[in-house]
Structure 1
Amino acid sequence: MTNNSDEAVSGFEDRLQALLDSDDDGLLDVPVKPAKATAADRLERAFLEAVEFRRAHGRIPSSSTREIAERKLGARLDGILANEEKITALKPLDEFGLLEPGAVPESIDDVLGGDDLDLLVDDSGLLDLSGLPVRKLPESPDSVAKRKKCADFDQFEHLFKAKHAELADGTVTLAPFKGLPTVQEGRFFVLGGVMLFVAEVGETKTLVVGGKPEPKQRLRVIFENGTESAMYRQSLSIRLHEQEGQAIVRTGIADDEILDADTESGHIYVLRSLSADPQIAGIENLHKIGFSTTSVEQRIKNAEKSPTYLMAPVEIVADYRTYNLKPSALEHLLHRVFAEVRLDATQVDKHGRHYDPSEWFVVRRSVIDQAVNMIVSGEIVDYVYDAQLGKLTHRT
């Protein structure tokens, strides 16, 4: 029995080996389990897709096109170009010079013409609209918003300086962008490292996008480099999402708390400086106009240590409580009304840094009261402040 069993096993092994030897097509080969892709493998694969696109089309993939597949490749390449370590790792694979730095712009016209950060043009969405039966021309003012030089940037420049100072002293902080509802008039955001200010939100218009009607609102967006754009509200939201933009919010206050006009309350305050500096103390009717979502007393703590308060204690001369009205928007309007009499002075903080306080104005308290009431009533649109007369006068 043992010999017969051994012979049977031996015969089976011979037949099995013969079967394996006859498998010319490899049908019986055991598949090799692929090795798990590493982060480096994925990075190389993503870059090689961009290389193949360059080989096939003769150009670098764009991150601003409406063609979704190309847009993804362009966005990946943009991310690679922003990381020196990735550039170094991928250099051996760069047969077309995709990782070479671009030419340094020689003038402001070159900067405005390049638009590498997609800040200058609004192509109104992520969808590929090439298949639609009707398509607006690129130069149509309703389809594309090009950035241009801001003619009245002097009216906004101080706002950016103030926000940078508040970021430095911790009054405000950077927070993740929370979506379209937070894109409101008076808000500050950071997109591609550039601070921007939503100065105006236009009327809602219904446009047909992808065959469906959608409400659209044009914005007036001011950038801290002196340019502006009339991009759509949705377009700004898309860019903030895509480029991991950030919102500038009051420290310790939730983003949604300061945006809900139905429940939000705050303070517009007017301060008088108690500085012993003769140059400050000698200025009659010098007032600081600001806003706070906390108590004004809390807001002005340690005023003598902050250049925002002229490095001196302050006295509260007015505290306007706001209901169903953004105090930041009211503050901005007041600053616009009294822009002509803004204090021109430079302060030095405790670190030796120079700072131009932007919320101090040489204007009578009674005129400030009048301006607040006229803003609330809507009458302010028909008035301007006459510095020589020291009063609000009707527009002619």
Structure 2
Amino acid sequence: MSENGTFEPRAPLSLDDILDDDLLTAPEKPKKLTASDRMERAFLEIVQFRRTEGRRPSSQTRKIAERKLGARLDGFQANDAAAEVVAHLDEFGLLEAASAPASIDDLLEAGDLDDLLADESGILDISDLPVVKRPESADSIAQRVRAKDFEQFEPLFKAKHVELQDGTFTLKPFTGMDLIREGVFFVINGVMCFVAEVGETVELVIGGESRKKQRLRLVFENGTESAMYDKSLQTRMYEAQGQVLTRTGHGPEDIFDADIESGHIYVLESMSTDPLIANLKDLYKIGFSTTSVEKRLKGASTSPTYLMAPVIVVADYRVYNVKASTLEALLHRVFADVRLDLTQVDRKGRDYDPSEWFVVPRDVINRAVAMIMSGEIIDYVYDRDSRQLERRPA
């Protein structure tokens, strides 16, 4: 329409004008995202966190948003194919495994522990918990040490294992303090131990109360020993559901009628200055006694049995449930070929041939004792040339 109100004809539209009309232009369809696109977007969020915070996101933090990114980064690091897709976006080397902190200071400076130590819930607050009192002082708590003269006890452990296998002995549940006596074998956490000695009763004041305790010498089959108190052993036995070795057919209550010390096998070394004796290497006397070895050796220096000279005890095996004299006879038979061939004159001028002295290494004697008590000795003989116990020819 013109200014004077009349209609003016409109110029005809060209084909280009019609095609350029916005009303006729269809909107572009959004590009469909591929799996690679999604992974790139996800990784770029991790990159942005690194750029903003100056560190990698942690999957261990309590902050949910960061933990999500940290877990995502862990996933990329664990998946080589995914890591390859986004590798071109990794400007900070995030796909490389984080190096372990070189020191505790590096760990603290990294800040990863801050959220763990920030205890908003109060779960780490122990101020209202009762105080646990440790009644025993540090010097009263026994620690295991290497067992002194363990070779004297090793045969006992081997014999007990054999007796458990053949049914002579069996394992019974630990039932109380009355079982903790000298000569008893227990099993704690799968390890056999032996009450070698029970000390004098001592009275200790603990927490204002007077308590009586006894120190033990507790020898373990792994070659260690402990000097714990009897009540400490009782506690350990209950906690570990320990067991006591009992002769089959007997209950734990009469264990002491089943396990009886029957004597001592001892090994002596001569301190003689006589060249015929002093120059003999590995010369030992093997004997037995039903009393203490110390009592048996009184007057040794004037007795031809002990080569008319002082002696020292190098081994003292306590024997249980077997006649020590029988064990001694077996040892003498095993080493008969290396018996000392020497005649001495006693104080009355009579000739005397000491029969219990043998030229044999001490470690072989120890092994023989163990093999006799375990029953293995029947398959072995002592070879004087190799100086070893050798298996009998088939």
Q: Assess same fold via TM > 0.5.
A: no
Report the TM-score, using the length of structure 1 for normalisation: 0.37
- Per the normalisation by structure 2, the TM-score is 0.37
